Copies of this chain bind each other. A is one copy, B any other.
Amino acid sequence: MHRMVATNARVLAQMRKGIVEFCVLAHLRHGEAYGREIAGTLANDPAVLTSEGTLYPLLARLRKQGWVETSWTPSDSGPPRRYYALTEDGAAALEAFTAAWGPFHSAVTAILEDDG
């Protein structure tokens, strides 16, 4: 069953594409957060996020699109942190995604369950 595990990891990675981004936006509704904080929370939550190699490029994209704003804040115990905050555009994008997600996951679930 070696292959199963490897296959599964690859399959999961593909499944996440285009979705992790919006999980990060959703997380930011709770307020500002910095990179490793987001990474920690989302990695625990469901294993929606696995690596910082995913997160930082993703955050850079969000910034370029104007979906988040950032501010540097010194830390008591380590290097300064870059805090990310949701913008209005970001909130709108998140709403649009949420609206699309419902029908999409229903459709996929229906296809998978349709044993007919």
Decide if A30 touches B116 in the complex (CB within 8 Å): yes
- The proximity string for A residues 97-116 relative to B, scoring 1 for CB distances below 8 Å and 0 otherwise, is 11011011111111111111
Interface residues on A, range: 35 or more
Copies in the complex: 2
Q: How far is the CA of A12 from the CA of B108 in the complex (A)?
A: 13
Q: How far is the CA of A14 from the CA of B93 in the complex (A)?
A: 15
Task: Name, among A15, A47, A101, A110, the residue most crowded by chain B CB atoms within 10 Å (CB to CB).
Answer: A15
Q: Which residues of B contact A19 (CB under 8 A)?
A: 14-15, 108
In order of increasing CB-CB distance, the 7 nearest A-B pairs are A14-B18, A46-B107, A17-B17, A105-B105, A15-B18, A23-B111, A98-B112
Beyond contacts A48-B104, A105-B105: 20 other A-B pairs, Cβ-Cβ < 8 A, are: A4-B96, A8-B100, A11-B97, A11-B100, A12-B100, A15-B18, A15-B101, A16-B18, A17-B17, A17-B18, A26-B114, A30-B116, A42-B111, A46-B110, A46-B111, A48-B108, A48-B111, A101-B108, A101-B109, A105-B108
Residues of A whose CB lies within 8 Å of any CB of B are: 4, 7-8, 11-19, 22-23, 26-27, 29-30, 42, 45-48, 93-94, 96-98, 100-101, 103-116
